[in-house]
Amino acid sequence: MRGRAGIGSWLAVWLLAGGAIAQPVADPDTRYEARLAAPLTLEDCLAIALENNLELRIARTGLAATQTTVDEAKGAFLPEFTFIGERTNLTHYGEVPNRDEHLRAGTASVTQLLPLGTLIDYSYSALHLKLDPDLSDTPLRTIRFGINQPLLRGAGWRTGTAPVRAARYETDITRAALRGVELGVTRQVRTAYYEVIRQAKIIDVNAQAVGRDSQLVLQSQTKLDAGLGTRRDVLSAEIILEQDRGKLVEATTLYNDAVDGLARVLGLRVGRRLEIAQKDVTMERMQVDEAAITNKALHDNPGLQAARLQLERSRLDARVAGNARLPQLDLNVSWNKVDDPDFNELTKIENVQRVREGNEPREFDFTAFKGWTTLLTLSYPLGNKSLGSAHRRARELQDQSQRNLDDVERQLVLDLRTALRSLDNSVERVAILSKSIEGARSKLEYASVNFQLGRASNLDIVDAQKDLLDAETDYINEVIDYRVQLANVEALIGGF
């Protein structure tokens, strides 16, 4: 038992060391453990997402699968070799003596399809038929070389290479879609990262508000104890304190949701702890040349590129469908050579009978011939409704692709103009909110002084603190919205 256990242990060690046992792929959280141990910058998040985002990995797999169709379509133009072999042994009963037949045959052929629709074929065949052991075994040999060229249906470079061109269009469309996914993931990462900053900043301003509220409650209670205030002042301060505590709790919840959203976009396990390095976002106004931005979007936007490629693909399909409506008119030219020793069954049977009767077998007359053969094939279905309907369908799909391209282009311009207007609007609102914050702080300071001097109730302070919290929250939202709109513009124009 001990020996068996020792052998089993050594076998397990050997398998593990040799890699015979498949090891599970390390999950992303483990792969990026060193990077995730430190606070993440926006560049870190973009790098992780572009490598690990699930949506992006799915899109890349789809592109890899689509690329194989190009080689698959090109395979039609590779030469094809075929070999067929046959051996038959037959014994005829009921004769004295019994008669045996032995047949051996083989055919080898090579075909080659050319982009013009031309089909070239070459074949060689040999047939051995032996009816009696005393007879010679001279094979029948046939050599054929032929060329078949469509003249109408299926003819021409465009029709012949249509499957390859269609596969390339599909690959290019999928590649454009992949680029769109990459830009979309970049936008999602920026948005998720800024959302974490947004909620962190809102937590800060709400925590500061709670601190001011707590101080106001303490001051109101002190004045009440000194007989300089009222119970109403205390209640008002306590009410706004609880309200701001509720906002702080909500902001904390939204912060955790934002962190989970960032992990999801990065392709990491949702729920793990993430810390970002950036704690603030500055307002950096981008100088926008609307005409230049629009031209870049019309050239580089992946969705628009895919729509253009789809239109080209539909035009190709319409041309191929139009060619399919033509009559089939094929010209076939072949050269044939046959070496025939005249081993037909009747002659063999006659010679077998002569041998059995004691007579000399008759000598075989070898026959050989070679020459050219020309065939002209004409075929056309009467009515041709199915092919005509297929062509009309292809034309309708082409028109649909054209309208879809126009719609995508107009929607792109609309979305871009809306985003640029939002940027300008955010710049103006940030300037207004900056002044509102300054005014709210001055109002709070003035109300606090008057409250301490007994010239005002704490309602003035409560009002001022509410205005300050609202202004600071709106300012944070507007600055983050500006950065999010910049990310949206980047995705629309195909990257800065």
Residues 306 and 261 in one domain: yes
Asked if residue 16 belongs to a domain, the reply is no
User: Does 92 lie in the same domain as 187?
Assistant: no
Same domain, 285 and 347: no
pLDDT in the model for residue 387: 80
Instruction: State the first-to-last Cα distance of the chain, in angstroms, to the nearest integer.
Output: 70
Model pLDDT for residues 86-103, shown as the tens digit of each residue: 888 777 666 555 666 777
Tokens of 4: 């068996």
The answer to whether residue 76 sits within a structural domain is no
Give the Cα separation of 53 and 264 in Å (integer): 8
Q: Which two tokens stand for residue 268?
A: 């990491």
In 3D space, the residue among 392, 224, 426 whose CA is nearest the CA of residue 317 turns out to be 392
Q: In this structure, is residue 189 part of a structural domain?
A: yes
Q: Are residues 345 and 481 in the same domain?
A: no
Together in a domain, 397 and 248: yes
Instruction: Tell me the C-alpha distance between 439 and 462, whole Å.
Output: 15
Shared-domain flag, residues 144 and 185:
no
What is the model's pLDDT at position 95?
55
pLDDT per position as a tens digit, 331-370:
999 999 887 654 454 455 566 666 666 676 666 555 667 8
Q: Left, alpha or beta for 358 (phi > 0: left; psi -120 to 50: alpha)?
A: left
The CATH number of residue 458's host domain is 1.20.1600.10
Sheet (strand 140-150) strand order? 80-92, 99-113, 119-130, 140-150, 328-340, 367-379
Domain span at 147? 83-113+118-153+331-379
Same domain, 187 and 148: no
The reported pLDDT for the residue numbered 92 is: 66
pLDDT at 239 (0 to 100): 87
Q: Provide the domain count of the chain.
A: 2
Per-residue pLDDT, 6:
46
Same domain, 295 and 181: yes
- Where is 81: in which H helix or E strand? strand 80-92
Same domain, 215 and 258: yes
Q: For the chain, which residues score pLDDT lower than 50?
A: 1-25, 342-343, 345-346
* Residue 112 pLDDT: 94
- Residues of the chain with pLDDT > 70, as a percent, come to 83
Do 183 and 302 belong to one domain? yes
